[in-house]
Structure 1
């Protein structure tokens, strides 16, 4: 009876050590896959979205909108009421890549020229398909 108890305890200890090693190996593999993904991915970190129709920005870092009100730039969790009917979810926006500063509106003239407002409600046609 003593031998069987020792054998069972030995097997339990061995299986516990084996499973612990397996968990550690899995954690290492997961970490390696994560670093592989970030090195090989085309993910671009974007801080600001620009809304051409509103001439406003959304700061993803602090989840705030930046827009002009009475000639001054305002930061707010929601857009001003004068945007009645404009749907942020359906509206046109542009990701501003590479800019991580605090005042994207300093480049407003450049953004207005590069991304003109389009107030039409018609669906956009793909130029390449013509």
Structure 2
């Protein structure tokens, strides 16, 4: 009888341990937002980019856009938007959708977030410097993003023969 109680307790302990591990592994695998993504958001999977009528899948680092009669996933924007500035363009954070096909709401997104749509002002995770993308991750909320219009900061790192590459 004592042996049966020990076996039952062991089985319950193993079952509880396995359940706890499964929950942890599901929450650990989260994609990294791009440097041009809006700062201050967690647990999101997609942005909608109104100016290019495309989505960005954060987990898979892919754009999703409609072309040739179907939705296409690609690491790059369509050719006619390759020069689009993702840093200055507005990104709608889709914080209420976590599936695999955000484009099922495309008609709603396109109507609500038209080309040229600007919502609340956004800061990006990284910033631009003289048309070259330079990425600096925030260490904490007190860190300030570089402002390319701040000439004192802009000129303080330049010297003769220096092409302003900072690491």
Q: TM-score range by the shorter chain?
A: 0.5 to 0.7
Stretches of structure 1 lacking an aligned partner (at least 5 in a row)? 1-41
Q: Tell me how many residue pairs correspond in the alignment.
A: 82
What is the TM-score when the length of structure 2 is the normalising length? 0.44
SS state at 2:71 partner: strand
Which has the higher Rg, Structure 1 or Structure 2?
Answer: 1
CA contact (8 A) 2:76 2:82 kept: no
Moved over 3 A (4+): 123-126
Query: Greater relative contact order (Cα 8 A, min sep 6): structure 1 or 2?
Result: 1
* 1:8-47 superposed Cα distances (whole Å, 9 cap, x missing partner): xxxxxxxxxxxxxxxxxxxxxxxxxxxxxxxxxx954110
- Partners of 2:67 and 2:84 lie apart in 1 by 17
User: Superposition pairs for residues 79-98 of structure 1, below 5 Å?
Assistant: 79-98=77-96
Stretches of structure 2 lacking an aligned partner (at least 5 in a row)? 1-39, 122-167
Looking at secondary structure, tell me which structure has more helix per residue: 1
What is the TM-score when the length of structure 1 is the normalising length? 0.55
RMSD over aligned Cα, in angstroms?
2.6
CA contact (8 A) 2:48 2:94 kept: yes
